[in-house]
Structure 1
Amino acid sequence: MDDKVNVTFILIDGYVELHKYRYLYFVMMLTVYILVICSNSTIVYLIWNHQNLHEPMYIFIAALLINSVLFSTVNYPKLLIDFLSERQIISYPACLFQFQMFYSLSASEFLLLAAMSYDRYVSICKPLQYQTIMTKTNVNVLLVVAWLVPTCQIAVFIVLIAKKKLCAFTFKGIMCNSTIQTLHCVRTTLLNVYGLVVLVNVVIFPIIFILFTYTRIFIITYRNSREVRRKAAQTCLPHLIVLINFSCLSVYDVLLLRIGTEFPKSVRFIMTLQMLIYHPLFNPIIYGLKMKEIYKHLKSLFCKMP
């Protein structure tokens, strides 16, 4: 690449034997992308179409699934283009946009899960106050906060790094994540500190809040009958499974990459694909099979098909 191209474009060097498996990668990822869109959209449609699912818990589930669709739509088209391209490159502005959307939507996942845990806490621990607390207005406020707060905080980070000079133009990954900072000529303490603040605000605090609310739910339901415990587990367990799944996948990107550990290219590639493939498909499966009301409508929908 000449000097003019180097200023604008970054070479993506995270694919493993792309020349050999490009068509296999393309077919596999296109299939997964279609499955992600169809599975998540189907459950969102069921929630939107059935009046008995117009409750805060299901609205938050729909928001979570929409978040998965947005997350996949930001990342999959670029991957599919790369698989069929002779040179895998991305402009620096486009890389920053992908960074913004990747982390904003990932952080929104944690905040939406926190909102869902609060909804379950009020429903189980304060049932008489549920209707007055979880009003339509309050639900909308929680949704706006879950999407807006991460977007604004990550946007500040983007502004801070947008004008930093690049001294390297080869990126050891397949999508722009936190390691984009390794391309900068100088890594500043300010960015590291601000990144840590954002991590605490949109990841650590929500996880602590979720663990606190579910602990309270466990303590209160433990004192009640077996039927109460069963119903609580039925609604809370899927949320906890999704939280554990997403947290484990996020550890690699948020922590391991930030400490500068050098992983083999194949490990980086596989771990990134785990994040892109596993979680967006995991959510609709868990909520579709584990949430009784959704499963009932889902079963009815497929039974009606010829």
Structure 2
Amino acid sequence: MLEHGGNLRDAARRYGRSDWIDLSTGINPHGYPVPALSPEAWHRLPEPDARLLDAACSYYRAPRLLPVAGTQAAIQALPRLRRPSRVTVSAPSYAEHAHQWNLHGHARRLVPYAGLEQAVDESDVVVVVNPNNPTGETVPPGRLLDWAARLRARGGWLVVDEAFGDTAPSLSVAPHAGEPGLIVLRSVGKFFGLAGLRLGFVAAHETLLDELADLLGPWAVSGPAQEIALRALRDMDWQRKTQRQLAQSGERMHALLQAHRIAPAGTPLFQWWAEAEPEAFHEHLANRGIWCRLFRDAARGVRLGLPPGEEGWRRLNQALFEWSKR
């Protein structure tokens, strides 16, 4: 199993602290307030709720969606819906994409964002994370739609992972996902801060969504997840307020890192930089009870999410000051 953020139990076992600040995931630390749930959410088998689909299609501006148990479920399933293909995955990016396509007989290669334009004409499937996790790099939607059309002309796919796309809605190509060959993944976990729900959505042509639904089987999304997400996706006041808060917090994190001579890039939910000594930096923060995301391979560097409160900002500032004064 690949390494991911959020593994605080591992941190506690290794460092023996109990006062951790988890900056390792890029998840909104002030998530949607979970309402009291109806008894039916627990007692009934979780048949699909048409109200949830309507709310999600409105929020994501997508013509049709399939709810899944987190976008990870779709990432694992999509390689099983194609015969062996030439697959290009943007690099660096969320490692599960390359890992899953590699498991199912496809000829997978990793290509930097600058090389994706050429790779489109040499591939059957191209996977792009937009905005990218962990670097925050983006691809304009017009370019993505051009790639999708070129791939579609020969039966190919463009898979666009927009898990961190809520804070950059103008980048989304979900409204165009009714066309064959364009597949868009969206997550409820990041912006809404509800990673524990394990809920995401796939926007695609109806034929592919039917195939994916058959592969994933019945009752793929729990009743509580559906009921909570329905509230969250309809709550436009909370969404507008959270967009403003995250924009301010993202600017604050960017400025804080710059003040300590770090040049980061990212989104309102996280910042990443190519740290010269990422292992040492990770260890430095861990010894102070701050858990960040360490990248050792293509994205060699560090990613920081947002602290949950002022005490977290204070401790992070102090840790960065001590790092800069070594």
Question: Quick check: TM above 0.5?
Answer: no
TM-score (norm 1): 0.25
Q: Per residue, is there more strand in 1 or in 2?
A: 2
TM-score (norm 2): 0.23
Higher RCO (C-alpha 8 Å, min separation 6): 1
